[in-house]
Amino acid sequence: MEREQALKIVKEQLTDHRYQHTLGVMETAITLARQYGADEKKAELAAIFHDYAKFRPKDEMRQIIMNQNFPQDLLQYHAELWHAPAGAYLVETEAGIKDSEVLDAIRYHTSGRPGMTLLEKVIYLADYIEPGRHFPGVDDVRALAKENLDTALIQAVKNTILFLMKKNQPVYPDSFQTYNDLVMRQED
C-alpha cells in the first residue's frame, strides 16, 4: 500500500493531534530504519497504522482481545495497551495489510516483547521519540537513538516502567520481560 492511501485510511480514524503524531512517528521510523538497516517501506507502513485503533471504543477492543485469543491478561491492565493488538487485527481485517512483520510491529508498539525484531524496535522507539513528544527523558532517548538502537530502547522501556511505577500503576509483564531481554542481550 502506498503512503498516500495508507494516510488517507488512517486519517479517518484519528484526531488531528493524533494524526500529526502519526506523521512524526512515520518520519522518525523511516529515519531509524535507514540508520539501522530495517525495511523502510515496512517501517513507514507500520508507523502510519500504529495507532489505527487508538480511538476505538474500549468495548470493541475488549471483544477483539477476547475473540482473537490474544493474551487475556491484557484485560487486567490499562486499556492504553489494548489499541496495539486490537489495531494489528483491525489493520489486517479492515485495511487489508497482511504482512506479519508490519502487523507485529503494530501489535507490540506499546508493550514490547522479548526477542523484538528490528522493525518492532524501530516502531516502538519512533513512537516514543517522534518530534511532537515532550516529556522528561525523551531528549536523552533521542540522543541515544542516534548512537545505538538497543541502548535507546532500553532507556525508553525503563522510563516507561518507572513512569508507571511512580504513578502506582501496574506494569504489563511483557514490558518487564522486554527490558530484561534487551539488557541481557546487550551484556552478551
What residues contact residue 73 under an 8 Å CB cut-off, 6+ apart?
172, 173
Whole-structure pTM value: 0.97
Q: In the chain, what's the furthest Cα-to-Cα distance? A: 45
pLDDT tens digits along 152-173: 999 999 999 999 999 999 999 9
pLDDT tens digits along 90-147: 999 999 999 999 999 999 999 999 999 999 999 999 999 999 999 999 999 999 999 9
On the question of pLDDT at 72 being above 80, the answer is yes
Give per-residue burial for 100-132: e unless 16+ CB within 10 Å, then b: ebbbbbbbbbbbbbeebebbbbbbbbbbbbbee
> Which of 83, 47, 85, 43 lies closest to 68 in space, CA to CA?
85
Grid cell, residue 132, equals 511532537
Grid cell, residue 102, equals 508490519
pLDDT tens digits along 76-98: 999 999 999 999 999 999 999 99
